[in-house]
Amino acid sequence: MTAENRFGDEQYYALLEQLQAIDFVLVELNLFLDTHPTDQNALQQFNDLTEQRWVLANEYEKLYGPLQNLGRSYSGYPWQWNDDPWPWQV
């Protein structure tokens, strides 16, 4: 998908917003678990959200290209990493 098409694509923004929300909660849970490593509820929530994030990230990448570089995300052909806008530019 070209950069011009992404800017008007509501699903593009919805997926990014969901990923950002999950990432925020995962960071907070990570910090909480650093000081409360035996909290089973927090650990379960962390693992559930990690799985949700993985599913959303895969969906995003299939539609719009890689979220991360350096081997953390697959790329379609041709090489997609230089396609903008990048997720952090939106």
For 47-65, how does the pLDDT look when each residue is reduced to its tens digit (9 = 90+)?
999 999 999 999 999 998 8
Kindly list the domain boundaries of the chain, sorted by start residue.
3-67+74-89
- Of 43 and 6, more confident: 43
Cβ neighbours for 15, distance < 8 A, ≥ 6 positions apart = 56, 59, 60, 63, 64
pLDDT number for residue 76: 66
CA–CA gap between residue 57 and residue 52 (Å, rounded): 9
CA–CA gap between residue 26 and residue 34 (Å, rounded): 12
- The burial of 55, by beta-carbon neighbours within 10 Å (0-12 exposed, 13-18 middle, 19 or more buried), is given as exposed
pLDDT band for 66, please (50, 70, 90 cuts). Answer: confident
pLDDT number for residue 5: 56
